[in-house]
């Protein structure tokens, strides 16, 4: 996300109207629904998490318990349980 000066992109009348509500503050204007991107679509983070979760599930199937996996992957046991359940469901589908 980058900041743009409102006075450079908005008509003066609209800028004055906005200033009645927000004067000198930062505001976020969300994207239109049709322009929204899925989370992780611009980076490799989603793929990295998928690989990590796949490895966690395989380690779990190999006999590792959730506490050990939590220490190995720096996650809580509850997060490990959630990942294992999600991967299990994914493989059943």
Query: Which pLDDT tens digit goes with each residue over 32-46?
Result: 888 888 777 778 888
Angstrom distances, CA of residue 39 to CA of 34, 42, 44: 14, 8, 11
User: What is the pLDDT at residue 39?
Assistant: 74
- Residues lower than pLDDT 70 in the chain: 1
Domain boundaries, the chain: 9-35, 45-92
User: What is the pLDDT at residue 4?
Assistant: 87
| pTM, entire model | 0.60
Q: Which H or E element spans position 77?
A: helix 77-92
- The rounded Cα 52 to chain-centroid distance in angstroms is 16
């Amino acid at each position: 996300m980058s900041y743009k000066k409102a006075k450079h992109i908005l008509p003066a009348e609209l800028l004055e109207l906005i200033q009645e509500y927000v004067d000198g503050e930062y505001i976020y204007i969300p994207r239109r629904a049709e322009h929204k991107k899925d989370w992780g679509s611009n980076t490799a983070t989603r793929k990295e998490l998928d690989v990590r979760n796949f490895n966690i599930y395989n380690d779990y199937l190999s006999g590792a318990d959730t506490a050990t996996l939590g220490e190995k992957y720096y996650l809580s046991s509850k997060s490990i349980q959630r990942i294992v359940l999600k991967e299990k469901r994914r493989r059943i589908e």
